[in-house]
């Protein structure tokens, strides 16, 4: 049956790869069943909220190709889709719970942990609060709700075991003695994660909740609230944790962990999507390379595993290398331009013909960052690059004849050469044959002279990109003895 899923990030910065996986799985579930994918913003934790992060997250999702049907920038009948704009709605449901004798005011506000932050792993409650012997009256609690005195509002737990059925982890039971009366409305008038999500999921028609395993331990609270408010019970699918290769929680100590960083580093979005799809799910068999369309066709929650996923950066790099090799030139051009727009490189981004040539001569690149690493020096000023001392000694100083001697002879012949790829290639072959020199004895001295090191595209491509004038100027600079 069609399901309605949602992704509800709390904006604190760019989209984390763990959040990207959650968004992707919800998107795939909705597309697979012909359902709806909703995006809302959870911004009730004002201490952690970063307003500038909202457009950042939207841009990250769009770059990945994860499109939503309803929510921010796609309004529907259940809006608004920012929780900070829904405070009267939450207050109304809190009032309903108070009137039913299921909530009371609590003065222990300062010690209350931020309920928008996921609890520790597992299903046990933190047991950090004990119910007072004498509960405030309904009148006192309603007065607190209406602002008579700053106070949090807590839900009165009924004291019974709660069993959550999860599509991944099965039945998870939370005994009554591991529960506590939890805050549903903070003293600042903002709801906690548990209340806001329960209300929003009901009113927005969400039928399946797919999120990280770290939220499984809070699900009993939401189950009790749904029961107390007469709400429907959605399907649950909690996702395994994402760890680094040492089995630790994924963090920046091992490198970038947000989507924008991989975008800026020169990864293709389809490679990252393919990679994160496999962090906890597999299609069966040995298949690993899949497009978004194929992921939609193959995705099923019953193939989500319980074991923690490993974020293998070498595997991601291999995925990106393959994606770059398989993509057509038009697609690569779009992505390469996006990469250049995010990075300062000497390569001009406005010349499509030049960019296409760079893509062709750098076929087999791992990330787009490889292209300026190999070719960026060709677009600098002729005096704005340094010579690698080891390369100079090895290529130009040593050997018989020396690279300097070969380079001096090359300089004279290049000056009168027709500057086109076929003519340059023919000249290189004839020059090597006439002097019984290997290609390296000719190409490497030119390469060091015009780039300062031994790494560049094929020598013919290098010279064509540079042009005659710049090539000769750089060789003259090298021969003038300014290289060591």
> DSSP class of residue 290?
-
By the 8 A CB rule, do 213 and 240 touch?
Answer: yes
CB contact burial 56-77 (16+ within 10 A = b; e otherwise): bbbebbebbebebbbbbeeeee
* Residues whose CB is less than 8 angstroms from the CB of residue 98 and which lie 6 or more positions away in sequence, other chains included: 104, 138, 141, 142, 145, 153
Q: Which residue is catalytic, options 138, 160, 252, 306?
A: 252
For the beta carbon of residue 292, count every other beta carbon within 10 angstroms: 19
Residue 131: partners with Cβ closer than 8 Å, 6 or more residues away? 156, 180, 181
Q: Is 252 a catalytic residue?
A: yes
Paired strand residues for 243:
249, 310
d(CA 192, CA 197): 9
Instruction: Give the 3-state secondary structure of residue 297.
Output: helix
List, in sequence order, every residue forming a beta bridge with 152; answer none if it has no partner: 106
CA dist 339 and 265 (Å) reads 8
- Count of Cβ atoms closer than 10 Å to residue 470 Cβ: 17
Q: Are 98 and 145 in contact (CB under 8 A)?
A: yes
**Catalytic residue set:** 252
């Amino acid at each position: 049956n069609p399901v309605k899923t949602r992704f509800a990030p709390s904006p604190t910065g760019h989209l984390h790869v763990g959040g990207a996986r959650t968004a992707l799985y919800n998107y795939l579930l909705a597309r697979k069943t012909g359902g709806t994918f909703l995006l809302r913003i959870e911004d009730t934790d004002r201490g952690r909220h970063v307003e500038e992060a909202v457009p950042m997250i939207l841009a990250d999702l769009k770059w990945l190709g994860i499109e939503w049907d309803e929510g921010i920038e796609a309004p529907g009948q259940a809006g608004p889709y920012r929780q900070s704009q829904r405070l009267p709605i939450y207050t109304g449901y809190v009032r309903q719970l108070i009137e039913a004798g299921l909530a009371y005011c609590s003065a222990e506000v300062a010690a209350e942990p931020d309920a928008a932050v996921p609890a520790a792993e597992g299903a046990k409650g933190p047991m950090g609060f004990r119910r007072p012997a004498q509960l405030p009256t309904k009148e006192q609690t309603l007065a607190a709700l209406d602002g008579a005195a700053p106070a949090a509002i807590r839900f009165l737990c009924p004291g019974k075991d709660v069993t959550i059925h999860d599509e991944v982890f099965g039945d998870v039971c939370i005994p009554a003695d591991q529960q506590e009366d939890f805050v549903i409305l903070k003293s600042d008038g903002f709801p906690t994660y548990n209340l806001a999500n329960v209300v929003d999921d009901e009113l927005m028609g969400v039928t399946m909740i797919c999120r990280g395993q770290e939220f499984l331990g809070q699900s009993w609270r939401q189950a009790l609230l749904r029961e107390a408010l007469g709400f429907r019970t959605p399907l649950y699918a909690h996702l395994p944790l994402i760890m680094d290769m040492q089995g630790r929680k994924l963090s920046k100590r091992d490198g970038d962990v947000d989507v924008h960083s991989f975008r800026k580093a020169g990864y293709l979005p389809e490679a990252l999507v393919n990679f994160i799809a496999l962090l906890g799910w597999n299609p069966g068999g040995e298949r690993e390379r899949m497009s978004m369309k194929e992921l939609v066709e193959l995705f099923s929650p019953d193939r989500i595993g319980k074991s923690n996923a490993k974020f293998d950066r070498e595997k991601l790099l291999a995925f990106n290398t393959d994606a770059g090799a398989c993509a057509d030139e038009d697609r690569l051009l779009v992505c390469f331009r996006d990469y250049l727009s995010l990075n300062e490189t000497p390569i001009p981004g406005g010349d499509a013909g030049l960019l296409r040539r760079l893509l062709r001569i750098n076929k087999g690149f791992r990330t787009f960052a490889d292209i300026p690493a190999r070719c960026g020096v060709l677009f600098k000023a002729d005096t704005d690059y340094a010579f690698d001392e080891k390369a100079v000694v090895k290529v130009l100083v040593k050997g018989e004849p020396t690279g300097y001697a070969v380079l001096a002879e090359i300089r004279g012949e290049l000056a009168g050469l027709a500057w086109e790829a076929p003519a340059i290639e023919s000249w290189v072959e004839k020059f090597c044959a006439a002097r019984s020199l290997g290609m390296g004895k000719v190409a490497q001295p030119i390469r060091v002279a015009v780039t300062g090191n031994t790494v560049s595209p094929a020598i013919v491509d290098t010279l064509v990109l540079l042009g005659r004038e710049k090539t000769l100027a750089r060789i003259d600079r090298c021969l003038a003895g300014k290289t060591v």
